[in-house]
Chain A
Amino acid sequence: RKEVEQDPGPFNVPEGATVAFNCTYSNSASQSFFWYRQDCRKEPKLLMSVYSSGNEDGRFTAQLNRASQYISLLIRDSKLSDSATYLCVVTVSSGNTPLVFGKGTRLSVIA
């Protein structure tokens, strides 16, 4: 049973394109949701938290659907520097609980 599932990609898109990633999670007790970015052979870095009301940070928009246990990330006006693997991450935020990572979706933005 995969706890956090993502389409592995790769997504190859031209600069300026809009791209959307989806993620589903199996644990209905999950309380906190995040998108992390990981460059090749580097550590994961927090891109943004995901809130029930949806949230936006510049070109990035994250949405959460608790009923469907589904999270999305939309990237508008893709830049070459957006090329990376995007990790969907959830946690049950009670005490010192660990992050549960999806395998990630690879994005390549092409000039």
Chain B
Amino acid sequence: EPEVTQTPSHQVTQMGQEVILRCVPISNHLYFYWYRQILGQKVEFLVSFYNNEISEKSEIFDDQFSVERPDGSNFTLKIRSTKLEDSAMYFCASTADSGGEAFFGQGTRLTVV
């Protein structure tokens, strides 16, 4: 069964450092998303991406965040200068079409110390 894969599964970083979270969406999917979930909180939308550009972003997705699809398979989320409050589980998701079932990766647990 095709799946969304994310690496690394866990990343610990010092405050102020840059991190790149990586995702490989399902190969024939066209829409890509990043969500995050702070421990004990709800899953929150960060950004959606289609046709090589950002479709929509939330107020969480400020100038410290960026996304990229550097090649035909990877989809990355970069946090330029991490803050303690960026500590969360980050989920990548993809859908084959607009409004279709979203498949989530297993997540990257980011811990900022």
A residues apposed to B, CB below 8 Å: 31-32, 38, 41-46, 49, 87, 91, 93-104
- B 55-113 contacts with A by CB, 8 A: 55-56, 58, 89, 91, 93, 98-99, 101-102, 104-107, 109
Instruction: Tell me how many residues of B have a C-beta within 8 Å of chain A.
Output: 25
Which B-chain residue is minimally distant from A43 (CB atoms)?
B104
User: Known: A44-B91, A87-B43. Is A98-B99 also a contact (CB below 8 A)?
Assistant: no
What's the dominant secondary structure at chain A's contact region? loop
Residues in A neighbouring B105, C-beta threshold 8 A: 43
Is the Cβ of B42 less than 8 Å from the Cβ of A102? Answer: yes
What's the dominant secondary structure at chain B's contact region? strand
A100 smallest CB distance to B (angstroms): 7
Is the Cβ of A43 less than 8 Å from the Cβ of B31? Answer: no
Partner of A98, one of B41, B45, B89, B107: B45
Partner of A96, one of B31, B35, B58, B91: B31
Is the Cβ of A101 less than 8 Å from the Cβ of B102? Answer: no
User: Known: A41-B89, A43-B107. Is A95-B42 also a contact (CB below 8 A)?
Assistant: no
Is the Cβ of A101 less than 8 Å from the Cβ of B101? Answer: no
B76 smallest CB distance to A (angstroms): 18
Which B-chain residue is minimally distant from A95 (CB atoms)?
B98
Instruction: Across the A-B interface, give the 9 residue pairs with the lowest CB-CB distance, nearest first.
Output: A93-B99, A98-B45, A43-B104, A96-B55, A101-B43, A103-B42, A96-B50, A96-B48, A101-B42
In the bound assembly, the distance between CA atoms of A38 and B107 in angstroms comes to 12
